Amino acid sequence: MINLKKLNISEAPWKIAFSASFLSFIGLVALSSISYQSPSIVQNPFYKQLFFLILAFSGFFITSLMPKYLIHKYAYVIYSLGIILVILPFFGVAHAGTYRWLNIGLPFNFQPSEFAKIFSVLALARYLSNNTLNIQYFKSILVPILIALIPALIVLNQPDLGTALVMVSVIFPMLYWSGARPFYLFLLVAPVFSILTAFNVIAFSTWALIIATVIFYANTKIISGAGYFFGNIFFGLLSRPIWDTLNPYQQNRVLTFIYPEKDPLGAAYQIIQSKTAIGSGGLFGKGWGEGTQTHLKFLPVQESDFILSVIGEELGFIAIVVILITFGYLISSVIRNSFLSKDKFSSLSLIGLGSILLAHVFVNTAMTVGLIPVKGLPLPFISAGGTFLVTSYLMIGLIMRFSINYSD
């Protein structure tokens, strides 16, 4: 039984919840413009988003009232459930050549990987909050790496590279927050850069010099240092085989990012249309329902991945700035609350959940303006998407819960 007096709801950071609701309101404005000519209510993105917002708010209130000790106690059980959920789609029917969605007999499909992101954070927080764990040793970070990698590798095979990268990315801020040596975090990231720079001799040579310098100043043993260095050289040699394992559409996205002018009507089409939409909107936009890129259907996936482009075209650059400021306030508040938290499990959970939100905001925004290759990561609270919207508000509920300092 939840003791509401003990819960002290007045301490909850309601401004975070209001910020998320404000972002959802902007998303509804954009979706209403996109879908006002839609002939079907069932397939109308605006009405679908309203329906999922009801589910999302319900999930928000449930998670915001859950006792922390129960979340901590059953974190591993919840994580195991998440592993099972991301495996289940492989036994179903493929959708657009992928196994990301699970048909549960309803008019909409269910994407388990969105829940698995949250469950992985809770399991990591549970493990890293163990007071007997000495995170200063490299072997101590192997288990949390496995906790993040297991669901990420399953999701990668669905395939869903964007979600898999988000799952892996949370491990770095959570390890740093729990006291891991920055040198060990560098060793975790180094193979990725070794693979990326291996396509260019000068870049790879420069990166090898950086690795050698970091290893030297880290005062590692000669044998260990040599192992770290030549291990990264080996990863660089794997760059070509790894490239060959990518699907053709994934290779096209990378090549389009580097050479967008080579295929303006093919792989580069999304980025070009997105930047055109934002640029044509100017400072204050063309007005609601007046976006030509949007309503003439030049802009692809406009209700989800590129909804920020719709907002930029119709509401202007000033609206994008307001959105980014709101996200900045929301995420910085989560980090601030992690500092103020009185228990390690709550603090680590806040860092992990805030990292998920930050990863989505950064990737979606950078993708929209062509700073990084296109990734299918929606914008939290704004993009259309049932499962993602619900899990975004589940995260806000958990953030509210972990931000209240009380002993339960």
What would the pLDDT profile of 250-289 be if each residue is shown by its tens digit?
A: 667 666 655 555 555 555 677 788 888 888 888 888 888 7
133 against 189, higher pLDDT: 189
The pLDDT confidence band at residue 236, using thresholds 50, 70 and 90, is confident
Q: Tell me the whole-structure pTM to 2 decimals.
A: 0.86
Whole-number pLDDT of residue 200: 77
CB count, 10 Å around CB of 69?
Answer: 11
The mean pLDDT value for 116-129 works out to 94
Is a pLDDT exceeding 60 seen at residue 53?
yes
The mean pLDDT value for 76-86 works out to 93
The mean pLDDT value for 188-203 works out to 83
Whole-number pLDDT of residue 277: 83
Most confidently predicted of 36-40, 270-274, 288-292, 307-311: 307-311
By mean pLDDT, which of 85-94, 234-243, 392-401 is the weakest?
234-243
The pLDDT confidence band at residue 55, using thresholds 50, 70 and 90, is very high
The pLDDT confidence band at residue 356, using thresholds 50, 70 and 90, is very high
The mean pLDDT value for 162-183 works out to 88
194 against 321, higher pLDDT: 321
Is a pLDDT exceeding 60 seen at residue 384?
yes
Whole-number pLDDT of residue 319: 94
Whole-number pLDDT of residue 39: 60
Is a pLDDT exceeding 60 seen at residue 214?
yes
Whole-number pLDDT of residue 268: 67
The pLDDT confidence band at residue 13, using thresholds 50, 70 and 90, is confident
The pLDDT confidence band at residue 5, using thresholds 50, 70 and 90, is very low
The mean pLDDT value for 119-144 works out to 82
Is a pLDDT exceeding 70 seen at residue 3?
no
- Mean pLDDT score across all residues of the chain: 84
HEC string for the chain = CCCHHHHCHHHCCHHHHHHHHHHHHHHHHHHHHHHCCCCCCCCCHHHHHHHHHHHHHHHHHHHHCCCHHHHHHCHHHHHHHHHHHHHHHHHCCCECCECCCECCCCCCCECHHHHHHHHHHHHHHHHHCCCCCCCCCHHHHHHHHHHHHHHHHHHHCCCCHHHHHHHHHCHHHHHHHCCCCHHHHHHHHHHHHHHHHCCCHHHHHHHHHHHHHHHHHCCCCHHHHHHHHHHHHHHHHCHHHHHHHCCHHHHHHHHHHHCHHHCCCCCCHHHHHHHHHHHHHCCCCCCCCCCHHHHCCCCCCCCCCCHHHHHHHHHCHHHHHHHHHHHHHHHHHHHHHHHHCCCHHHHHHHHHHHHHHHHHHHHHHHHHCCCCCCCCCCCCCCCCCHHHHHHHHHHHHHHHHHHCCCCC
Is a pLDDT exceeding 90 seen at residue 326?
yes
Is a pLDDT exceeding 70 seen at residue 353?
yes
Is a pLDDT exceeding 50 seen at residue 195?
yes
157 against 120, higher pLDDT: 120
